[in-house]
Amino acid sequence: MKALITKLLPVLLVSGLVVGCGGTKVERIGVDEVRDLSGKWNDTDSQLVSKEMIGDVLNRPWLTRFETKNGKPPAVIVGTIRNKSHEHINVTTFVSDMERELINSGLVEFVASKKERGEIREERKDMDTHASEDTRKAMGEEKGADFMLKGTISTIIDAEGKRQVRYYQIDLTLISLADNRKVWVGQKKIKKFLKNANVRG
């Protein structure tokens, strides 16, 4: 029995070493590097779509008309972006990408989201009790938005065997909060062809 164990021990050790070497390998890549692994919506899609669509909305007549009439840049807020696609899409990241493009453009003022405003209002209430008079921020002095950006992300998937075409359509609308006018409607389409696709969703 001892002789058998002595003979098998090197084999077991080598086997364990081979299995251990087959683990996950990590390679650091640049955040701007594009790697489409699954063909699904990814960070590159989010960044490219937000940059292109915000670039378009800021180059349309509504902006000049508002500034000419009011003598100031408009205040914009991003509302609900609905995911109507077949897959899980991190809409929060997409909204953040659009917010960054809007703010960094310097062409519009940007208002905090509904969730963010709730947290800030709680902080103001706390200030009423605990902050000094000269640093306390008064209630009722918030900047109201002039326009809200809303939209949807939809997909159409056409599959046969191991081949698949994934079609994404992003629709955004800018709406005047004063009178519900739609002042801009934008659309971006992305189509991806996948070979050897294993999943339909």
pLDDT tens-digit series, residues 150-186? 999 999 888 888 888 889 999 999 999 999 999 999 9
Query: Does the predicted TM-score (pTM) go above 0.85?
Result: no
Distance CA 152, CA 79 (A): 11
Q: Is residue 159 part of a domain?
A: no
Instruction: Report yes or no on 81 lying in a domain.
Output: yes
Identify whether 197 is part of a domain: no
What does the pLDDT read at residue 112? Answer: 86
Strands 147-160 and 182-194, sheet pairing: unpaired
**Residue 163 domain-assigned (yes or no):** no
Residue 7 domain flag: no
CB 41 within 8 A of CB 89: yes
pLDDT for res 25 = 82
pLDDT of 66-92, one tens digit each? 999 999 999 999 999 999 998 888 899
In a domain, 198, yes or no: no
> Which CATH number characterizes residue 50's domain?
3.40.50
Beta-sheet strands, E only, within 75-181 = 75-84, 109-110, 147-160, 163-176
Environment class of 151 (CB within 10 Å of its CB; exposed 0-12, middle 13-18, buried 19+): buried
Q: How many domains does the chain have?
A: 1
CA 169 to chain centre: 15
Asked whether residue 23 is domain-assigned, the answer is no
Query: Does residue 133 lie within any of the structural domains?
Result: no
Confidence of residue 43 (pLDDT cuts 50, 70, 90): confident
Domain holding 98, by residue range, is 39-128+145-154+172-186
Report pLDDT for 30.
59
Per-residue model confidence (pLDDT) at position 17: 46
